[in-house]
Amino acid sequence: MAKQNDSLDSIYQLPFEKPIVRLARQIAELEAAQTETGRDYSSELRQLRLQHVSLLKTTYSQLSPWETVQVARHPARPLSTDYIERIVKNYVELHGDRRFADDKAIRTGLGRIGTEKVLLVAQHKGKDTKEKIACNFGCAHPEGYRKAMRTMKLAEKFHIPVVTFIDTQGAFPGLGSEERGVAEAIAVNLMEMSRLRVPVVVVVIGEGGSGGALGIGVGDRMAMMEFSYYSVISPEGCASILWRTGEKAPEAAEALKLTARHLKALDVIDDIIPEPLGGAHRAPAEAAVNLERYIAKTVRELSAVPINKLVDQRYARWRRMGKVVQLAPEMPVTP
């Protein structure tokens, strides 16, 4: 485990993880020395591994909102295609919006998660440079949202539950996207998903930014992976508006209340899916198992609810979303 983590962290190191990486390297060096010299360092290794686990637990239990954003953006964090490969059986991808193009930033397909048949709609950022460019770094054009809705309507026709994976900084704001009506495409999805007559489960697996996330984000259950984030705007975007500088992103992240813990308390999401110790990038297989269990269990529960009642509950859920804190009125100033 230590060698795996050391290899991972040597590729990309989060600023707050430096002590963890240092300890992982000590473990790797001591293991190498034990192999080369034949001397028994098992006692020292045991102590170092306990320290490593303890430091991971302490660090990841006290992440700031900005540090959570950094974890959600980790280059080694599992993407939607990683989860599809691990948990979706008999996956058949569906392409195109039948109007303009096939947007690779949103992948859709039929398959089975656990024992449940589902339509999966997933935002994809791409892995290498070539794929990232093809996927527009996960920022979808209107044809991506129209493809998502076309396949959701297909799922509705055949009474197949819908599962969506959110992982985007936002919809693409370029000229072509605006000309083809990205705002209208997202708005239509919001309306149609709110009355879709099949169970809909939404999971934020990494970044959940702005209308780009909302475009496939209306459902009966809303969940977030433990170290993902969900916000009306990115911390950098918020900081550039409020303070005219992206350097205030940590303060913006704190103010936005964008972590899973904050949003659960605010009644914006329903569930938090636990991640492995140190984040999903450290143990993708374990993260996939947790995600699969949650989806299979939730789809079963929702499928047992009569469809008219389910749609009514979905509407009521979105009407009650969030909590409002009313401040006490200021006392009148007497002359």
What does the pLDDT read at residue 195? 95
What does the pLDDT read at residue 5? 44
Q: Give 24 or 120, the one with higher predicted confidence.
A: 120
What does the pLDDT read at residue 323? 67
Q: Once rounded to an integer, what is the mean pLDDT over residues 201-214?
A: 94
- With a cut of 60, say whether residue 11 has pLDDT above it: no
Residues 6+ apart with CB under 8 A from 17: 9, 59
Are 226 and 275 in contact by the 8 Å Cβ rule? The answer is yes
pLDDT band, very low/low/confident/very high, at 251 (cuts 50, 70, 90): very high
Q: What is the mean pLDDT of the chain?
A: 91
User: What does the angle CA 240 – CA 241 – CA 246 come to, to the nearest 5 degrees?
Assistant: 10
pLDDT in tens, 30-64: 888 888 888 888 888 889 999 989 999 999 999 99
Question: Which of 220-229 are b and which e, b meaning 16 or more Cβ less than 10 Å from the residue's Cβ?
Answer: bbbbbbbbbb
What does the pLDDT read at residue 2? 39
The whole model's pTM is what? 0.88
Q: Cα-atom radius of gyration of the chain, to the nearest Å?
A: 22
What does the pLDDT read at residue 40? 85
pLDDT band, very low/low/confident/very high, at 246 (cuts 50, 70, 90): confident
Rounded to the nearest 5°, which phi and psi values hold at 162? -110, 135
What does the pLDDT read at residue 320? 85
Q: Output the six-digit token pair for 2.
A: 């230590």
DSSP reduced 3-state for 140? coil
Q: Output the six-digit token pair for 290.
A: 């947790």
Residue whose entry in the numeric block shows the structure tokens 């280059």: 75
What does the pLDDT read at residue 158? 96
Q: Give 31 or 298, the one with higher predicted confidence.
A: 298
Rounded to the nearest 5°, which phi and psi values hold at 88? -100, 120
Number of H helices, E strands in the chain: 15, 8
- With a cut of 80, say whether residue 91 has pLDDT above it: yes
Q: Hey, which residues does 116 pair with through a beta bridge?
A: 113
Query: Taking Cα atoms as reference points, which of 201, 322, 170 lies closest to residue 257?
Result: 322
* β strands within the chain, DSSP E: 88-94, 106-113, 116-123, 162-168, 200-209, 221-225, 229-231, 271-273
